[in-house]
Structure 1
Amino acid sequence: MLPAGPRTIAVGCAGGKHRACGLVEILAHRVRERGRAVNVEHRHAHLPRVLK
């Protein structure tokens, strides 16, 4: 069993399409459904998307 306390999960995406932002929102929703407190911080969502 893990010790009690806050945990950090980081998700990154190098493709420039902000898929990590979407994945984090889904993950946060699922964790909240299980009764846990979740804080989400999107560090690079303000950057423009890169489309080829």
Structure 2
Amino acid sequence: NFYFESAGGWKLGCYYYGAGCSIFGPEGSDLSAGVDWNNATGLAVTNYLIDLI
């Protein structure tokens, strides 16, 4: 068993970044790139987190 604080949303981002997802492009400064967490990879990460918790 292990403890996972799921209420701390700022920690969840590392899973998406680790899977290659980004916010506003690779440098985080391209507003036109938007957020790409709403894709197949982002969905896989979300499903993993649901199963983890």
- One fold, TM greater than 0.5? no
The structure where helix makes up a greater share of residues is 2
Question: Between Structure 1 and Structure 2, whose CA radius of gyration is higher?
Answer: 1
Structure with the bigger RCO (C-alpha within 8 Å, sep 6+) is: 1
TM, length-normalised to structure 1: 0.28
